[in-house]
Amino acid sequence: MQTNNAVKDVYPSRVADQPQILKRQDPVVYPNDYDGPLSKDDLNGYEKDGYLFMDPFFTPDEVAELQKELHKLLTESRGLKKPEVILEPESEEVRSVFAVHRDNEVFKALSNHPKLQAAVKQILGSEVYIHQSRINFKPGFRGKEFQWHSDFETWHVEDGMPRMRALSCSIALSDNYPFNGPLMVIPGSHKHFIACVGRTPDKNYENSLRRQEYGVPDQESLTWLVKESGIEQPAGKAGSIVFFDCNIMHGSNSNITPYPRSNAFYVFNSVENKLTEPFSGLPPRPAYIATRD
């Protein structure tokens, strides 16, 4: 068993030359008495499937303000050479802008939205902080795919996230349709941890955020997961939201339609699950990808 300093690695990945399917060793919904917008059924559904889709979640006025800011941010980011601005792998199109909860007033306010915060605490059962935020623009015609992966596998290996007590909120800022590359999830896959093969390269994030190669499960494991419970694609209008568990297997296809699929992603981590040293043994990733302070 690998350890880094004091913390045991209960989910070893990218250490063996064969993939492995391990059982999850953490709760999905953490017992708590936080009040919020999620019903008992919502929470039971999230526990079983690993995700919860709500359409709508935000009001039309809130959506209008977010869309205005989205276009402003995209215009500002084009041609901007800064680490937080990630380009598509085969063009100069903007793929993502990271750390919007830190650098942008409108998206900072969104991360503190009372209804959003309340829902997240009903699931994680504690106070929370933002581990990572980004806007994925997935532009029309050129928005490329996101390979299948578990976020937790990356956050554990490359950021040192100890346990599965985090979640992502994907907030639709443009209408997500079945055909413009919406999020695809494998319901129930969050209950298994797919240990991947390969060794994480130094500064892997300089490529992985454009096209992920490490931490992408093998086809046999993916086929096994899909056989268990199929594929769902919670595609909703602008203002809808998908809460998804840190370990659910997910991905999205390229967008060859004229309709951008732009979403805001906020990753909330429990204050009881703060990052330790990366289990890869490599230096930690920069703060704009993983909050460490």
Helices 114-124 & 40-49 angle (0-180, nearest 10): 60
Query: CA neighbours within 13 Å on the CB side: how many for 155?
Result: 30
* Cα first-last separation, the chain: 27
B/e letters for 159-177, b = 16+ CB within 10 Å, e = fewer, are: bbbbbbbbbbbbbbbbbbb
Interface with Fe ion, residue 49, by CB under 5 A: no
In whole angstroms, give the CA distance from residue 234 to residue 38: 17
Stretch near Fe ion under the rule CB under 5 A, chosen from 23-31, 96-104, 132-140, 147-155: 147-155
Neighbouring-strand partners of residue 85: 97
190 touching ligand 6CS, by CB under 6 A:
no
Of 77, 176, 189, 208, the residue at the interface with ligand 6CS (CB under 6 A) is 208
Name which of residues 105 to 164 contact ligand 6CS (CB under 6 A).
Answer: 132, 134, 146, 149, 151, 154
Residue 153 binds Fe ion, judged by CB under 5 A: no
Closer residue to ligand 6CS, CB minimum distance, 189 or 212: 212
Q: Which residues contact 112 (CB under 8 A, 6 or more apart)?
A: none
Question: Minimum Å distance from CB 194 to ligand 6CS?
Answer: 14
Which part of the chain contacts Fe ion (CB under 5 A), choosing from 35-43, 146-154, 197-205, 272-280?
Answer: 146-154
The site map against Fe ion for 105-144 (x = CB under 5 A) is ----------------------------------------
